[in-house]
Amino acid sequence: MNAKAIKIAATASILVLALGGLFYTTLREGTEYYKHVDEVMGNPGAWQGKRLQLHGFVVDSSILQKPNTLEYRFQIQNNGKVVRASYTGVVPDTFKSGSEVVLKGRLNPDGSFTVNPNDGVMAKCPSKYNPATPSGTAPGS
């Protein structure tokens, strides 16, 4: 090989290694799994410590707020599986018993879920997804 081919090969190798390293470090931090409660609690050991978006429904009467704080403890469930969750921060107005939620955080070794305070709790508003009844007709008729 001549000197020009060696320089091109060396430059290409350095660029490939640099881009590979950049992709690895970027994707490693930004990777999150979107899972339902029953999927995670079926094998909790596989999900401990990983970044998750956990989807489920707030268990009725499970929301507890420490007085004069923004600390919440509650349970979410899906298909019979339940996980305890904790969050410190402002919750949306639609966060209440029975509401559909997505939590971003990590599963702890004890099986509880800690919501990342920077990401918060996302609660869906069921009224936006229910079909409207045509005017003049009663629901169910």
Where in the chain are the domains? 1-31, 32-127
What radius of gyration do the chain's Cα atoms show? 23
User: 């690895």: which residue's tokens?
Assistant: 24
In sequence order, the β-bridge partners of residue 78 are 81
CATH class of 32-127: mainly beta
pLDDT by residue (tens digit) across 69-126? 999 999 999 999 999 999 999 888 888 888 999 999 999 999 899 998 888 888 887 6
Q: pTM for the full model?
A: 0.69
